[in-house]
Amino acid sequence: MDGNTVVSLLDEGVIREASTGDIELGTEFLETVDGWLVDRDLSTAGELGTGIDEHVSSPVVRNILETHGTQEASLLAVFRALSDYLPSSDEASRLQLSVFLTQLMRGLPSGDGTPANFFPIDANLLPVALDAFDKAVVYVWREDCPPCDLMRDDLGTIGENREGVALFSVYGPEWKESLNDQFEVVGAPTTLFVTDGTVDSRLHGAHYPEVITEELEKTLSS
């Protein structure tokens, strides 16, 4: 999320600054999300389908939610709540925001090895995140890993002020099976360059900044 988006979400009460200085969901917004989950029983596949049909007009967004919604009822609830708080937002942008807010609602995963400007995310939320964004980079890391430290620093620099691409990080040891099954990631550091939900290329281990930049530019131009 860029700075303007964060300010807008703060102003509308969607997020707030916690006493620790971290960002969390606003109390009233969270109650709205819970209402969509409980009062409308979005925990069942049938109700999810009805909710999508009734409240999503974009065919692209509808397809993404139908594909992933049965696993991510909370994401659909966040999506619906955002329509109340940000009625002028388009559905594609609302879906992208829902990815970030759903992760905030779960709690941010370990981020010590996350590059600057990257957003730490659970691997089981990655499939919908990568469908929601046209271009993305996913960095998988682990602790006590000098090559990971090198990639973290270089990716943080390369990703600074980079527009048109979503930047995510995943703590590999926590999601070994999911990362292997979904993306054939078997170690860290691994960096995935993704277009329209499909991995275009990947880098294993640490690489020179020039190599990373070249792969990123290929993804952005594809």
pLDDT digits (tens, 9 = 90+) for 180-207: 999 999 999 999 999 999 999 999 999 9
Q: Of all residues in the chain, what percent carry a pLDDT higher than 90?
A: 61
**Strand, coil or helix: what is 56?**
coil
Q: What are phi and psi of 71, to 5 degrees?
A: -90, -20
**For residues 117-145, b (16+ Cβ closer than 10 Å) or e, as one string?**
ebbbbbbebbbbbbbbbbbbbbbbbbeeb
pLDDT digits (tens, 9 = 90+) for 158-168: 988 788 999 99
Amino acid identity, position 56: V
HSE value, Cβ hemisphere, 13 Å, CA-based, for 133? 26
Exposed/middle/buried for 165, CB within 10 Å: 0-12, 13-18, 19+? Answer: middle
List the domains of the chain with CATH numbers.
3-106 (no CATH), 119-221 (3.40.30.10)
- Looking at the predicted structure, is the pLDDT value of residue 51 above 70? no
Amino acid identity, position 89: S
pTM for this model (two decimals): 0.90
